[in-house]
Amino acid sequence: MNRRPVHWQDRTLESLATYLNGFSFKPRHWGDEGLPIIRIRELLDESVEPDSYNGVEAEAFKINDGDLIFSWSATLAALIWNRGPALLNQHLFKVTPSQDVDIRFLNHLLNANLNALASRSHGTTMKHITRGDLASYSVLMPPLDEQRRIAEMLDSLDAEVRVTRKVVQKLKQAREGVLSRFIQAIPHNSFRPLSDLCSADICYGIVQSGPYVPDGIPVLAIRDLQGDFESSLHRTSPYIERRYRRSRVSAGDVLLSIKGTIGRVGVVPGHYQGNISREIARLRFTSAVDPSFACQYLLSQQAQRRLDLAVVGTTRAEVSIHVLKRFEFPAPDVEVQRRLVSGTRKVNQQINSEEKIIEKLQGLRQGLAMDLLTGRVRMPVGAAS
């Protein structure tokens, strides 16, 4: 049985702060002048252009840099605001910590408990949590000085991830510049339907959400496309896999995610023998298309935009196989394709290297957060300095 760390207290989330729900903005409040209105979508996506409000009704709901915001409806999320003065919409709490609670620590604590809170959510169309849930949900709280040391450690790891993401973004912009210039030079008559360029039917894979078996046939999912196709893969029974033998993959097959997350790409390595999930399409090209070139084109902004335009579905995005077969794909001379692959190889290696660093940092941070926020690992004085 786990013992509570010395000097740590059992507290409810409600006791740690006051939670002010945002203002119920109506269409009549929206405009182009005044302070931006922060809804859930603006909270989660910095690229969204917000509406503004130029009035006094919502003055009590103003937020500034350093304020903690908690989205309690639809999508649960918590973050410390850093985009200047704004006004908070309903379905978002402005969280003001109690005197004995560090705001940065509370941010990490809320984020660490989002999944558990989500399991308590109410509603059928729009899931949400209530103040009653906050009042009944207990956490362990260390003394204020230890809260600050824990927050500083986790903040430093988050900062490393942000810096590395910016590096990846710049590398991808450099790659896109090369791709864009190359694609613009491809003659229009070099574009052909994907079905004409594939030596086998374009198909998706196994329709299965479980159960998986430890020693079964590997099944690649979307999350595996940018990995190493190693031992963490789901595995299905040989009986189920035989029913989907048409979607077995071979070395050099190009895989494209077509459901949920659209546009992730991977090439099957020589060592992999198995199948793919329902969310992935297999593209087995003829000798007219180099697989590495196919990946480069599918990752370009032009191809990603065209895939977005082909999406159907309101609850979960999908590109149908029928549409994919008619997708116009460039097939210039193979030597020309290989020159592009050669020209982008170095930057792709850099991107892959930086993304692996991000993955390792996130894994380290997740494990460390669970240990530090529950007291399994203690932060000695001066450890985060």
- Domain assignment present for 3: no
Judgement on whether residues 246 and 307 belong to the same structural domain of the protein = yes
Flag whether pLDDT at 374 surpasses 90: yes
- Domain assignment present for 255: yes
pLDDT score at 348: 87
Tokens representing 256 are: 């494209």
pLDDT score at 383: 60
What residue spans of the chain are helical by DSSP H? Answer: 40-44, 103-112, 114-118, 131-136, 144-184, 194-197, 238-243, 291-299, 301-309, 321-325, 334-374
| The dihedral sign for the CA sequence 242, 244, 245, 249 | negative
The pTM for the full model equals 0.75
128: number of Cβ within 10 Å: 14
Judgement on whether residues 133 and 220 belong to the same structural domain of the protein = no
Please give the tally of structural domains in the chain. 3
User: In sequence order, what are the beta bridge partners of 328?
Assistant: 193
pLDDT tens digits, residue range 41-90? Answer: 999 988 889 999 999 999 999 999 999 999 998 889 999 999 999 999 99
Order of all β-strands in the sheet with 35-38 = 52-53, 35-38, 86-88, 62-63
- Domain assignment present for 178: yes
Flag whether pLDDT at 265 surpasses 70: yes
Judgement on whether residues 192 and 276 belong to the same structural domain of the protein = yes
Judgement on whether residues 24 and 120 belong to the same structural domain of the protein = yes
Confidence of residue 133 (pLDDT cuts 50, 70, 90): very high
Tokens representing 370 are: 């669970």
Judgement on whether residues 252 and 151 belong to the same structural domain of the protein = no
Tell me what the mean pLDDT of segment 223-234 comes to: 70
Judgement on whether residues 58 and 135 belong to the same structural domain of the protein = yes
Most confident of 91-105, 200-214, 216-230, 293-307: 91-105
- Domain assignment present for 272: yes
Flag whether pLDDT at 370 surpasses 60: yes
Tokens representing 196 are: 């004409």
Residue at which a domain ends, from 291, 306, 331: 331
Judgement on whether residues 218 and 299 belong to the same structural domain of the protein = yes
- Domain assignment present for 124: yes
Most confident of 151-155, 225-229, 274-278: 151-155
Flag whether pLDDT at 210 surpasses 70: no
Tell me what the mean pLDDT of segment 324-331 comes to: 95
Residue written as token pair 């003829």? 286
- Domain assignment present for 216: yes
Flag whether pLDDT at 172 surpasses 80: yes
- Domain assignment present for 212: yes
Judgement on whether residues 151 and 249 belong to the same structural domain of the protein = no
Q: What percent of the chain has pLDDT over 70?
A: 95
pLDDT score at 1: 44
Judgement on whether residues 297 and 349 belong to the same structural domain of the protein = no
- Domain assignment present for 2: no
pLDDT score at 272: 86
Q: Which range (104-108, 252-256, 345-349) has the least confidence? A: 345-349
Residue at which a domain ends, from 312, 331, 350: 331
Residue at which a domain ends, from 106, 125, 141: 141
Judgement on whether residues 178 and 215 belong to the same structural domain of the protein = no
Confidence of residue 230 (pLDDT cuts 50, 70, 90): low
pLDDT tens digits, residue range 302-322? Answer: 999 999 999 887 667 899 999
Residue written as token pair 């895939």? 307
Judgement on whether residues 304 and 208 belong to the same structural domain of the protein = yes
pLDDT score at 382: 62
pLDDT score at 282: 96
Confidence of residue 214 (pLDDT cuts 50, 70, 90): confident
Compute the distance between CA of residue 350 and CA of residue 339 in angstroms, rounded to an integer. Answer: 18
Judgement on whether residues 199 and 309 belong to the same structural domain of the protein = yes
Residue written as token pair 């940092």? 361
- Domain with 100 in it: what CATH number? 3.90.220.20
Residue written as token pair 């030079």? 185
Asked if residues 295 and 267 have their Cβ atoms less than 8 Å apart, the reply is yes
CA 310-39-57 angle, 5° bins: 145
Flag whether pLDDT at 13 surpasses 70: yes
Mean pLDDT over each residue of the chain, to the nearest integer: 90
- Domain with 148 in it: what CATH number? 1.10.287.1120
Domain span at residue 178? 143-186+332-385
Compute the distance between CA of residue 256 and CA of residue 295 in angstroms, rounded to an integer. Answer: 9
Q: Which range (195-209, 230-244, 268-282, 288-302) has the least confidence? A: 230-244
Tell me what the mean pLDDT of segment 174-193 comes to: 91
All residues at 6 or more sequence positions from 27 whose CB lies less than 8 Å from its CB, including other chains: none
